[in-house]
Structure formats: structure tokens, C-alpha cells
Amino acid sequence: MNISPKGYRYLVPALLPLAGLYLLWRARKQPSYLKHWGERFAWSDFPSPRASHPVVWIHAVSVGETNATRPLVRAILNQWPQCDILLTHMTPTGREAGQKIVQLDPQRIRQCFLPYDAVYAVRKFLRQTRPAMGLLMETEVWPTVLEEAHALGIPMALVNARLSEKSFNQAMRVPELMKKAMGRFTKVCAQAESDAQRLKAMGTVEPVITGSLKFDIQAPAEALAKAAQWKLGISKPIVMFASTRDGEEALIVESLKEQAKPEVCYLLVPRHPQRFAEVEELLKSAGLRYQKRSLLKSPDDIQKDTQVILGDSMGEMFFYCALSDVTLMGGSFKPFGCQNVIEPASVGVPVIVGPSTFNFSMVVEKGMEAGAITQVEDVARAVDLAHQWLMNPEWMASLKANALTFSKMYVGATERTMSVLETLWKKQ
């Protein structure tokens, strides 16, 4: 199947009723999908710029991309004091994560959803927000956005860009559409050489390899302080299953039924909040003794016979990472490509991943070389390895040191990215 750029522009408006049905379907488990429909369909107005304050627009779809913008937003605020920032998202959880970034400077940062990629909606968005430049995070390619921005002379950059082999193959099913869209980027900042090669093959300008912004994210001091306080009150080492995806929790629960040790506490943190209740039901059906993080005010509330803490809260991943001794990374034990292995490593926590790591292939490879990340074939093996590490204090100390060293080896992506963007800024 191939869709031409012209055909795409006609197709998207025809699909908008289905988008509305999709939002209603998602709202069954996540009511926040019912909010801000006016922005999604361009029925309401978008934030207009302040006089004499050029706007840098940053689009970050969901939580991971949004959190990755934090060091970049700080740099923009510091280096371009005359500009404001517009942060856009596609998911409610991304918008919620973005609210914390807005607090860096509420006067200069505003938020909204990016409307669906229909011509009328994109034109209204660009006309009202009037960005001086646009930055799309990671793998975001919206053909109409890029085409309309190009027509208006708005430079667009793909930042922190990554493109797995799987995503490349999917995109190339519609080569005419994707190659024209990718050719509209003025600058491309790729995370790694492999990403750069695939991006160039899709028709972008020559990418600049800047590394991953996620290495530059610093754990909030309050999260580290809270984790240190909780560790004092928890006498057991903690193994965390981080950002788990659909199907993985069932594997984890089965493994814990066989392998859980009374001297270890397990922390299970599903990636998506709409699945908290589903995962709780799995724990309950398995007969595992669990407590919910949302009901724990302090470590004193944790009962002695609790086996699993269900991490049913948002915005606490750094707290969870710092609280843990070992992290088993979700998304890697089913074919989801792995979630962010950099966060736990940045606070000195070694990581175990499963076989599926295509979203972080370069990072996982480098982490394995540094002795900070270990790859295994399944959940049972991962749990067994975590137990082995915990029984060997010297091994654990070495692994923690490796994790910290690894995370510090790759800092600097923000500075390199800003050097690329500076060439666009000087033209404004």
C-alpha cells in the first residue's frame, strides 16, 4: 500500500470521527482522554505568543518524550532569554508530565495538545501560535504539520531522533509520503549512528549525531531524598519491575509465585496508569501479598509480610529507581522494544533487560559493554539473576559503580543539540 502526500491530506479529515471514537474508548479506563477535545480537533483557540517574545515550539507525544525535553527546555530558557516555549503533547499522561516542566518558568512556558494532522487544524494551530521554530521529539513525523510549517517558512528540527529497524520498515510502507515529510526537516539531531543512517535513508538532511537527551536528565533532589528516607525504613533489598507492559505482568506474577524470596521486596510499576487495576487483579488472583503505593504515606505503612508494592502512581519513576537495588526493565520481555534503561542507571542501579530492546538498542549495547546492563532470555532468568546479585555485596557494589559510570559517559547531548539549533535561532 502506498499513500501519496495529496491522498494523505484528504484521508486524515475523513478519519477524524474514528479519532473521536478512539478517545471515547480510551476514556473508559482513563477519563482524562475526555479533556481538551477542543485542542485536539482545533475547535478552540491555541496559546498566542506574547509581544516581542518569539516562540520555540516543542512537541513531545507522551511521558518519555516529555521528560526528555527537560534538559533542553532548561538550556533554551537560559540561552535564549527573550524566547517563550510552547510544549505540545498527544496523550494526557504526556501533558501531565509536561505540567512539571512548565513549573520551570510558568510565565515563559505554555502547554496544549497538538491537533490531529488535518490541514484546517494544523493551519489554525500554526496561525495562532506563530512559532519561530518547531522541534519534534524522537520519532514524531506528522506530514501535514511539516508541510504547512515549510509553506510558512518555519524551520523544523527532529531532536533526540531515534528510528529502529522496525519503525523504519513500517514507515517505508508509505515511502512517497514519508520521504517527502522527512525531507521537510531543516535539521536532524540523531541519537546514534544507526539512527542517523536510517533517517538519511528516509530522505532527511544529513543528521548530526548528538546522543540521547535522556542521559542529561538529572534525578530531582527531592526524589532522591525521599528514596533515601524510605530506604532507612525498609529493611529488605528491593527488586523493581519498571514500566511493565501488557502481558509482562502475568509473566512476572507467575515467576514470583515460584521464585519470590521472603528477604526481598518486589516493586511492580506498570507503564500505563489505565492498567493499574488490571495488574492489581493479577496480584490478587495469584495470592501474592501486596500493597499499593498510593496508600502508603511512609515506609512505616509497609507490612512485614508484604511481597509486592504496586507502583500505582505517576511522576515517581526517579523515586522508584533510587529506592531499588536492581531494576528489571519492562517492555523488553515482550516485543515492545524496552523502556528507558537510562533512568535507573543514572542513580546507580544496575539493569536487567529481556530480549526485546530495539527502542534502546544502542544504549543497551553500550550499557552491556560497560557492565551496567545485563540481557537475559526471560523473566524467570532475570529474577534469578537479581537474587544472585543481591546475595553478593561485592558484586552489587561493582554493578552499581558500573551503572553510575556508564550514565555519566554519555552526558552532553543537550549542549550538542543546542549547538545545532543555534544555527536556526540566529536566522530568526
Is residue 82 within 8 Å of 50, Cβ to Cβ?
A: no
pLDDT of residue 23: 95
Single-letter code of the amino acid located at 411 = V
By annotation, the residues acting in catalysis are 65
Beta pairing class for 351-353 and 326-329:
parallel
The C-alpha cell at 144 is 501535514
| Kind and range of the H or E run holding 3 | none
Residue 122 CA: distances (Å) to CA of 117, 126, 333: 6, 6, 38
Which positions of the chain have pLDDT values less than 50?
A: none
* Model pLDDT, residue 428: 63
Within 10 angstroms of residue 164's Cβ, the number of other Cβ atoms is 18
> Which of 265, 249, 238, 255 lies closest to 331 in space, CA to CA?
249
Please provide residue 407's backbone torsions phi and psi, each rounded to the nearest 5 degrees: -65, -30
Q: Identify the pLDDT of residue 425.
A: 84
| Spatial separation of the C-alpha atoms in residues 294 and 305, rounded to whole Å | 18
Backbone φ, ψ for residue 210 (5° rounding): -115, -10
Cα pseudo-dihedral 213, 215, 217, 220, rounded to 10: 170
d(CA 413, CA 354): 27
Side-by-side strand order, sheet with 109-113 = 109-113, 84-89, 55-59, 131-137, 156-161, 187-190, 208-209
What is the rounded CA–CA span in Å between residue 195 and residue 59? Answer: 19
**63 vs 66: CA distance, rounded Å:** 5
Give the global pTM: 0.89
